Structure 1
């Protein structure tokens, strides 16, 4: 492999959307997430992140901080966090208190990764943000306010508003994005950066270049640290993996058609279900998706590491059957054992 990055010096983590499958319930989805997290811990994954989405019938992680607490309580060593918290949906003080509580309960294991998108459609965003002025434009100010709750200025005079728990706790803050906005911000503040290339691959390489070339060392990070989102669907054979991946593809089609729903069972005829335009969208979104057996997965991830020089890969696997999803992550763990 010609890249300077190898599997041995690349961290692997899990991004979980807590999928609610057709015929399933949110409770089952969350219990499956806890089961996957316990296995991921055993298999050597570095962290387990859950994502904030709202008004999505197929995603059970809307109350993200609550889910993080549940997952952390079901595990013992793996880092647990948000991938991410959509900060404009919340008051920074509330997030500081929530994650201060989580860090107090599970010290040294909590990550706080932040995004500025609503995590849903605009109607739901208005319901969350309660006004047209909460459009994410003040995201840098919100991040700065949140940081100050954890690290208030020195001196004898205490701040007027304090996060308890939260104040004085060293909770890693990440910035996430699918464009250059958060890349610039993460570089300026010397924070780790994660790119959502598992669903928005177009600007990944320019954003990584921008982040690395403009990075300013901070008290938290002395050099750039880039995480790249990928979809990995692994199975014992390439054919079986391709079939499992049709659940994820159907989910993308549902979003394209404005009809988000629960995660559907795999099908044999996904090509027959798509227009030419939809096939093109699936192909574009699949640029950082790897589907296949162990050897195929290894080769695909080598290509992605060669291209991105990522410090960490965070892996999503939208698979209908829970046992098949477990097996997919188990196969992947053999790549970096």
Structure 2
């Protein structure tokens, strides 16, 4: 991994990665969404992106990546060198043994290419959480213990005696990242010497304090000698500012639906959003960590974000309705990255 250092906002070598929410667009299917995700991953590999992550969400009509480990295998099997992983697996939903076996299998199939990003949120509503058979103590409070159990399956103590073993999994070096939107995971990843990814693409308010907590409390480990922080950024690039802003209305409608407690597929872009002043203020705040516009506009916005955060890596989310426009956005971003 690249060590953390002082960021000046113009870093041609900062890695850029993709967080794909496998959007199911209005009128399409999960099958089409998953085909599009693989197509995007293949293009991303060609354009030089570092990693391609998918996230665990359940009971959401607009997201096709609920079986996250299966989707990772689909993406890794259709590419050859880009790192593929989870952004993230919601560990309270699962037995640590099952996750160790799943990612041990993925690493065995695609050696040196698998990342295991972990979160402690349910990734769903309470009713869905119940359907996932999350019992007492599965509310995220025991996340450090579950994480310890998971890591022990990969690297058990030599004097552990009789024990349950993760096969495949045992002895494999799979990078573990902690994901978060508050100080909890920042402090835990610092104490354990693990890389940290902050979900600033949807929860930007605590970004800078969380990065300070992580860097200030970091303890070197076998996994990492120096802190390594990745931040989520919404990036939508088009040939003009006006076109990019219109493309962004699909993602804005998605956030509006969440505010209004609705679910649905990703909507087509619109010329004008129908929102209240209060809703607009909420969305403006939620999209603080975003770069939306023409290549020159996005370049300036990203330079400012890097200057403010000194991030070691950015992971980009782009909920764009039209697949060709989504490909074009990531292609333009790759060109910006090469020229920064």
TM-score range, shorter chain: over 0.9
Contact 1:194/1:226 (8 A) holds in 2: yes
* 2:315 pairs with 1:311: no
1:268 corresponds to which residue? Answer: 271
Give the counterpart of 1:188 among 187, 191, 194: 191
Alpha-carbon shift at residue 9 of structure 1 (Å): 2.8
Provide Cα deviations, 1:241-298, integer angstroms capped at 9, x if missing partner: 000000000000011111111000000011xx00111000110001001110100110
2:245 corresponds to which residue? Answer: 242
Contact 2:154/2:169 (8 A) holds in 1: yes
2:47 corresponds to which residue? Answer: 43
Give the counterpart of 1:209 among 204, 207, 212: 212
Give the counterpart of 2:14 among 5, 10, 13: 10
The alignment partner of 2:168 has SS state of: coil
Provide Cα deviations, 1:15-43, integer angstroms capped at 9, x if missing partner: 00000000100000000000000000000
For 2:214 and 2:263, how far apart are their aligned partners in 1?
A: 33
For 1:110 and 1:14, how far apart are their aligned partners in 2?
A: 14
Alpha-carbon shift at residue 6 of structure 1 (Å): 3.1
* 2:135 pairs with 1:131: yes
For 2:315 and 2:151, how far apart are their aligned partners in 1?
A: 24
2:333 corresponds to which residue? Answer: 332
* 2:150 pairs with 1:146: yes
Alpha-carbon shift at residue 121 of structure 1 (Å): 1.2
Contact 1:99/1:166 (8 A) holds in 2: yes
* 2:181 pairs with 1:178: yes
* 2:75 pairs with 1:71: yes
Q: Which moved more, 1:30-39 or 1:157-166?
A: 157-166
The alignment partner of 1:56 has SS state of: coil
Q: Which runs of 5+ in 2 are unaligned?
A: 1-5
Give the counterpart of 1:99 among 85, 100, 103: 103
Alpha-carbon shift at residue 3 of structure 1 (Å): 4.2
2:3 corresponds to which residue? Answer: none
2:259 corresponds to which residue? Answer: 256
Provide Cα deviations, 1:30-64, integer angstroms capped at 9, x if missing partner: 00000000000000000000000000000000000
The alignment partner of 2:132 has SS state of: helix
Distance change in 2, residues 1:170/1:235 (3 Å): same
2:86 corresponds to which residue? Answer: 82
For 2:243 and 2:225, how far apart are their aligned partners in 1?
A: 43
Provide TM-score, normalisation by structure 1: 0.97
Provide TM-score, normalisation by structure 2: 0.96
Q: CA RMSD in A?
A: 1.1
1:168 corresponds to which residue? Answer: 171
For 2:15 and 2:212, how far apart are their aligned partners in 1?
A: 20
For 1:204 and 1:63, how far apart are their aligned partners in 2?
A: 28
For 2:331 and 2:136, how far apart are their aligned partners in 1?
A: 45
For 1:158 and 1:42, how far apart are their aligned partners in 2?
A: 47
Alpha-carbon shift at residue 158 of structure 1 (Å): 4.8
Give the counterpart of 2:235 among 228, 232, 236: 232
Contact 2:232/2:316 (8 A) holds in 1: yes
For 2:92 and 2:285, how far apart are their aligned partners in 1?
A: 29
The alignment partner of 1:8 has SS state of: coil
